[in-house]
Structure 1
Amino acid sequence: MSRPRIVVVGAGFAGLSALRRLERRIPKGAAEIVLIAPNDYMLYQPLLPQVASGLLTPQSIAVSLHRLLHRTRMVPGAAIGVDVRSRTVVVRKISGETAYEPYDRLVLAPGSNTRVFDIPGLVEHGRGNKNLAEAVYLRDHVLAQLELANASDDPAERDERCTFLVVGGGYTGVETAASLKLLCEEACKRYPLLRDHIQWHLIDIAPNLMPELGENLGRSAMELLRQRGVKVTLEVSVKEATEDKVTLTDDRILPCRSLIWTAGTSPSPLMGGLGLETNKGKLVVGPDLSVPDAPEIFAIGDSAAIPDLSKDEDDALCPPTAQHAERQGPAAADNVIASLLDRPKTDYRHKDLGLLVDLSGRDAVARPLGKEFTGMPALALTRAYHLYSLQSGPGRVRVATNWAIRALLGGEVSRLGFLNKTIDTLVDTDQIDQYLDTEQAHEKVLVAGGAHDRA
């Protein structure tokens, strides 16, 4: 009898925690475990704003999978389709080749994409902060604008290059604005004539900043940003963007060459092509994290519509946070094992532990377990949580060392030379257009002869 084959798609918080539980719980040789992911590291996304500001080096938050996984076979590529009938995943490897991975159990944790809207100029002129390449690029872009402004004799160009707009009043947007504003302040030691020209704006269509924090802490975060010199405007978004200006929905026009878009995420297109039920693009699963019409498939993380059993509302779903994803992974792994052993599966249930926001410098706000903190106590809690959540000893040492170096010696404001043409738009259209629906995936599998023996 052949060993069961468990395929996991994605190595973010959800996918990695599922894989680690599978390796711990399944005896050696009892099952084959396969990971499909484009990178050989897990990105600790909550600290991306600190990479963008130069507070942390990129490798500090890239947790090596080779250090954490010892019995998992890694396939370097992206899952672009699933043939549900033959139980086969279609993979586009990083080499461009197409591969086919059959499965007995499939755990889908592909993460999410940057959410964009049909706003003229957004894709061409927006900048994101969702992966390492974007974070490093964003830092170089901001510093380049200051260098160019300092070298310009044109007052209009100087204003355009010194004006920065962050869209999105959630966790990422707030931290990105705070961190990069601090970077600009450090750069102004080199460019003192720009100090009065630099403007940072943070806008959001919602009436409150980070509503998950609660009214008091949301207001505290907004006050801290304004004290830093960030102009916060709510219930406003972008109407149009060009190379040198941004028009807002309140008809204001900002001379601006830096539009930073952090206005949420959208589910992976992989989920919509399965031919299974979705909710706003997320794959619908039951409380046990399995798909009702395909119980051999489990879905977790940002692209799964998972019932939130801690809420009284029948239609409440778990929010797409790292906290939930990290805990959904082990729950899915346990239920995968239970399904293989024909044992009862258990429901995923988790109480929200709160939110912590690091505003760089010495500012932070935190609400762990319903208790509110600001200032240094919040900063200590926030950074202790990040060190605890990093699943790598070397990663923890690198992050703590970077923080210590910045505190003792200050920061560096030199560009790293990443202003190239491969990541200069907000969305890589190839990464969206590559996905297959289930019929296309089935045809590819049959043509390739890679179908599972149960097809």
Structure 2
Amino acid sequence: MTRPRIVVVGAGFVGIECLHRLERKLSARDAELILVSPQDYQLYLPLLPHVAAGVLTPQSVAVSLRRRLRRTKIVPGVAIGIDAAAKVCIVRRTTGEVTVKPYDHLVIAAGSTTRTFDIPGLTDHALGVKTLAQAAYIRDHVIAQLDLAAAATDEEERRARLQFVVVGGGYAGVETAACLQRLTTNALKRYPRLDPALLRWHLVDVAPRLLPELGDRLGVKAMAMLRERGIEFSLGTSVASVDESTVKLTDGRTLPSRTLIWTAGVAASPLVTTLGAETVRGRIITSNQLTVPGCAGLYAAGDVAAVPDVAKGGDAICPPTAQHAQRQGKVLADNIVASMSATPLKPYIHKDLGLVVDLGGADAVSKPLGVELHGLPAQVVARGYHVMALPTFTARTRVLVNWGLNAVAGDDFVRTDFQDNRPKTLQDFERTKAYLSPDEVKKHSETLNVRA
């Protein structure tokens, strides 16, 4: 008798939690477990701003898959299409070879990419903070601007290199701006030729207020903390265009800058468009049991899925947060096991435990279980939450040691140049050009549909 094949696409919170639980619930005889992922690590995305600022090393937030998964076969590659009717997943391996993976159960947990708009120059010049490579590149880029500003003889060039623009007033944008502003402020003490008054960090967002998920009071408090540190805000506006040396805003202003960091939301992985399933705001509509209606053996969760938020009720869907993704992965595993034994599936129900925003140093705002905190108490909660959420003892130890070392010894200001010769666009870093059209999916499925 052939073992059922369970294929999981994506090594994020959903995929790894699901497989980790399946390995405990199913024996090797019960099912074949396969993970499709271009990386051999699970990325703890919430701490990427700390990597970009050099507070944490990249290894601290990149947890080896082989530390967590013992029996799962890892296929190095990207799922570029799904044929739900034929029950096959089309994979482009890291070698470039295109193959198919037939499945009995498929979990779509491919996560999200940076959401962009049709803004002239945006995709060519903006930097994102969605992958480990992007975080490492941003650090190098920001420090390079300080070096180039110190060497510049033209005053206008120096001003442009020392003005940094971050777009996005959510968690990613606020934390990235806060952490990098702290880094550059400390770094300027080592650049005697640069006037600290020239350093400008500018946070832009189309929304009328910062961090709306935290409520008015904490959003205002976060703004006050960051404004005191010198960060400027332009709310209710966005970017009209961007080129190598300027960022033009929709309110008519032009900011001379060589750095635009774009964190204005996320979009579901382009893998969703290859499936042809019903979507809402670009995310696959699922049942509250995380199944995809009308597609046998197909499940979706995390950033790619519009999962009903049963705790809130109505038409609410779960926000794309790590907290929900981790718990959805566990429910997914339970429901796959239940479907294999023909027992009822259970709905995903989880009440949000609260939100934390780390602004660097002793600055933070947090709302655990509805309790509003700011300053050092909020920072203790924020970092405590991240330590507990990290999936392995090794990762927790590395993060704690890095935080401690940074607090005692301060920042380092060196460029690694690891990313110097690779393409710098959002599409290149996030592989958004790799996916097939629905017609191409059908063609590959018919041509390559051989049991792998």
Q: What TM-score do you get using the length of structure 2 for normalisation?
A: 0.97
Question: Match for residue 107 of structure 2?
Answer: 107
Q: Deviations over 1:243-296 (max 9, x none)?
A: 111110100010111001011111111111112211122111111100110131
Question: Match for residue 53 of structure 1?
Answer: 53
Question: Match for residue 381 of structure 1?
Answer: 381
Shift of 1:451: 5.8
Distance in 2 (CA, whole Å) between partners of 1:427 and 1:104 is 32
Distance in 1 (CA, whole Å) between partners of 2:273 and 2:370 is 36
Q: Deviations over 1:110-151 (max 9, x none)?
A: 000110000001111111111111101101101111111111
Secondary structure of 1:433's match? Answer: coil
Contact 1:128 1:134 in 2 (8 A): yes
Shift of 1:430: 8.6
Question: Match for residue 432 of structure 1?
Answer: 432
Secondary structure of 1:291's match? Answer: coil
Moved more, 345-354 or 433-442: 433-442
In structure 1, list runs of 5 or more residues that go unmatched. none
Question: Match for residue 347 of structure 1?
Answer: 347
Shift of 1:448: 2.4
Secondary structure of 1:310's match? Answer: coil
Q: Is 1:410 the counterpart of 2:410 in the alignment?
A: yes
Contact 1:134 1:423 in 2 (8 A): no
Contact 2:355 2:367 in 1 (8 A): yes
Q: Is 1:264 the counterpart of 2:287 in the alignment?
A: no
Distance in 1 (CA, whole Å) between partners of 2:150 and 2:442 is 57
Question: Match for residue 156 of structure 2?
Answer: 156
Question: Match for residue 190 of structure 1?
Answer: 190
Secondary structure of 1:377's match? Answer: helix
Q: Is 1:31 the counterpart of 2:25 in the alignment?
A: no
Shift of 1:434: 2.4
Q: What TM-score do you get using the length of structure 1 for normalisation?
A: 0.97
Contact 1:33 1:72 in 2 (8 A): yes
Secondary structure of 1:75's match? Answer: strand
Secondary structure of 1:311's match? Answer: coil
Partner amino acid, structure 2, of 1:213:
L
Q: Deviations over 1:394-447 (max 9, x none)?
A: 111111000111111111011111352424123229922321244422321322
Question: Match for residue 203 of structure 1?
Answer: 204
Structure 1's 430 and 44: CA in aligned 2 closer, same or farther, altered over 3 A? closer
Secondary structure of 1:91's match? Answer: strand
Q: Is 1:291 the counterpart of 2:292 in the alignment?
A: yes
Distance in 2 (CA, whole Å) between partners of 1:275 and 1:254 is 42
Distance in 2 (CA, whole Å) between partners of 1:199 and 1:234 is 16
Partner amino acid, structure 2, of 1:273:
T
Question: Match for residue 42 of structure 1?
Answer: 42
Shift of 1:106: 0.5
Question: Match for residue 444 of structure 1?
Answer: 444
Q: Deviations over 1:137-183 (max 9, x none)?
A: 10110111111111111111011100000000000100000000011
Q: Deviations over 1:211-253 (max 9, x none)?
A: 1111111111111110110001211100010111111010001
Partner amino acid, structure 2, of 1:352:
D
Contact 1:56 1:402 in 2 (8 A): yes
Contact 2:290 2:301 in 1 (8 A): yes
Contact 1:114 1:130 in 2 (8 A): yes
Distance in 1 (CA, whole Å) between partners of 2:141 and 2:208 is 30
Question: Match for residue 396 of structure 1?
Answer: 396
Contact 1:272 1:282 in 2 (8 A): no
Contact 2:61 2:395 in 1 (8 A): yes
Contact 2:134 2:429 in 1 (8 A): no
Partner amino acid, structure 2, of 1:131:
T
Partner amino acid, structure 2, of 1:323:
Q
Partner amino acid, structure 2, of 1:178:
A
Partner amino acid, structure 1, of 2:54:
G
Distance in 2 (CA, whole Å) between partners of 1:322 and 1:449 is 34
Distance in 2 (CA, whole Å) between partners of 1:403 and 1:429 is 27
Partner amino acid, structure 2, of 1:143:
I
Distance in 1 (CA, whole Å) between partners of 2:338 and 2:280 is 26
Question: Match for residue 71 of structure 2?
Answer: 71
Runs of 4 or more off by more than 3 Å in structure 1? Answer: none
Q: Deviations over 1:367-402 (max 9, x none)?
A: 000001111111111111111110011111111000
Contact 1:204 1:234 in 2 (8 A): yes
Structure 1's 379 and 77: CA in aligned 2 closer, same or farther, altered over 3 A? same
Question: Match for residue 370 of structure 1?
Answer: 370
Question: Match for residue 246 of structure 2?
Answer: 245
Q: Deviations over 1:9-34 (max 9, x none)?
A: 00101111111111111133211110
Question: Match for residue 19 of structure 1?
Answer: 19
Distance in 2 (CA, whole Å) between partners of 1:341 and 1:430 is 38
Contact 2:356 2:365 in 1 (8 A): yes
Distance in 2 (CA, whole Å) between partners of 1:233 and 1:275 is 39
Alignment of 1:197-236 (within 5 A): 197-236=198-237
Q: Deviations over 1:306-352 (max 9, x none)?
A: 11111132x21111111100110011111111111111111111101
In structure 2, list runs of 5 or more residues that go unmatched. none
Distance in 2 (CA, whole Å) between partners of 1:151 and 1:309 is 57
Distance in 1 (CA, whole Å) between partners of 2:126 and 2:106 is 35
Shift of 1:194: 3.0
Secondary structure of 1:294's match? Answer: coil
Number of positions where the alignment pairs a residue of Structure 1 with one of Structure 2: 451
Contact 2:427 2:433 in 1 (8 A): no
Structure 1's 430 and 146: CA in aligned 2 closer, same or farther, altered over 3 A? closer
Distance in 2 (CA, whole Å) between partners of 1:430 and 1:203 is 23
Partner amino acid, structure 2, of 1:208:
R
